[in-house]
Amino acid sequence: MEDLLLLEEGLSLEEKLARDETRRFVDIDVIPIMGEAFEQAKFPTHLIQKLADLGFFGLNLPAEYGGSGINFVTYGLICQELERGDSALRSFVSVQNSLCMTPIYTYGTETQKQQFLPKMAKGLLIGCFGLTEPDSGSDPGNMKTNARKVSGGWVLNGSKLWITNATLASLAIVWAKTEDGVRGFIVEKNFPGFKSNEIKKKMSLRASLTGELVFTDCFVPETHLLPGTEIGLKAALKCLTSARYGIAWGAMGAAMACYETALSYCKARTQFNRPLAGFQLIQKSLVDMALEIVKAQCLNLQLGRLKDQGKADYAMISLAKLNACREALNIAREARNLLGANGISLDYPVIRHLLNLESVFTYEGTDNIQHLIIGKHLTGLDAFS
């Protein structure tokens, strides 16, 4: 996509190289297979080792734990390119990074970090994040999953729903209510009383393995409690904030794919003896799409620089997530319209991105929740209840 505002000039060499390497991977290994993966509702597990080899797990973590130690702008650029391939792929990487490795690094003991993070960085252990429940999505404080203290550990009961990587994961970061408030636990797949079930019949994120986690008197050793989560639900919400940052960048990757497809299609498709791109209404649509992508990229880049300076807060990230997801979905819908009947065919990526973005628009905090987060920041008044 043309760099209309010369944003490229503000990127470092390292940032450009990481983006370009990710772009090559997506163009060669991802895009050619994602239409079929979406149609068959199968995650391309053969890409996991390639993702690990490219250093996409533990991107912001120190090298001592197997991480790449990159800055947040680079992380964002990588997310943008991955979602240009497919939202399922970026979601997979985001969950491994922001929702699993980050809480272990932030809230875990040194033993836990050494035990899990290097293996996760190599793709030997895949994680999932268990917060959402059947009856508590936007209201996680109303969770029913509970952990009861017993000798040597905890007994976990409850369930989590709409969990990315659920059936693929070797471990889950699970949030449960205790007598002292919400706590986070590392629950390994082989713990008795823990099982996962895949959710079928999805029409969005079909190439993502989404499922349910069920805990029935599941014993979790004391060594698997994340001690830093003594701050309660705030710990889980900080993980969501981290994930929303990657989503803001990723959604623009999907938007770029839709715009570029529409632009190419309209320049090549002839109606009434002229290319579609030569009609005024078509040009208006293309310009509006490009405008919103450039605006979102400016916002995301500024946010990334602020994160790298330690100045970004949760309201800023909600602003970026709200904007990117809303505009990406609008762009995908308009691209689908410009392609006419071909817009619903998996021979083109637009309908796949459109359907995926319906989930991206909702997960890690719905559009309405992002409005309330920003609204509370602007007014000082809590409208959540």
Query: Which tokens go with 370?
Result: 């992002």
Q: What is the pLDDT along the chain (385 residues), one digit of tens a residue?
A: 999 999 999 999 999 999 999 999 999 999 999 999 999 999 999 999 999 999 999 999 999 999 999 999 999 999 999 999 999 999 999 999 999 999 999 999 999 999 999 999 999 999 999 999 999 888 898 999 999 999 999 999 999 999 999 999 999 999 999 999 999 999 999 999 999 999 999 999 999 999 999 999 999 999 999 999 999 999 999 999 999 999 999 999 999 999 999 999 999 999 999 999 999 999 999 999 999 999 999 999 999 999 999 999 999 999 999 999 999 999 999 999 999 999 999 999 999 999 999 999 999 999 999 999 999 999 999 998 7
**Angstrom distances, CA of residue 366 to CA of 86, 154, 242:** 20, 32, 15
Rounded CA-CA distance 343/352 in Å is 10
What are the chain's domains? 7-121 (1.10.540.10), 127-232 (2.40.110.10), 234-379 (1.20.140.10)
Rounded CA-CA distance 112/333 in Å is 44
Does 110 qualify as catalytic in the annotation? no
Q: What is the pLDDT of residue 136?
A: 87
Burial-class residue 242 by CB neighbours within 10 Å (0-12, 13-18, 19+). buried
Instruction: State the DSSP code for 166.
Output: T
Query: Which one of 15, 260, 327, 364 is the catalytic residue?
Result: 364
Query: Which tokens go with 371?
Result: 């409005």
Do strands 270-271 and 146-150 pair parallel, antiparallel, or not at all (unpaired)?
A: unpaired
Which residues, 6+ apart, have CB-to-CB distance to 353 below 8 Å? 86, 87, 254, 255, 257, 258, 332
**Angstrom distances, CA of residue 383 to CA of 200, 257, 315:** 35, 36, 15
Rounded CA-CA distance 285/235 in Å is 42
Rounded CA-CA distance 41/96 in Å is 20
Query: Which tokens go with 251?
Result: 């959604």
Q: What is the pLDDT of residue 385?
A: 76
Give DSSP secondary structure letters for 315-338: HHHHHHHHHHHHHHHHHHHHHHHH
Q: What is the pLDDT of residue 236?
A: 96
Query: Which tokens go with 345?
Result: 């065919």
Rounded CA-CA distance 136/161 in Å is 9
Helix or strand holding residue 295 (H, E): helix 280-308
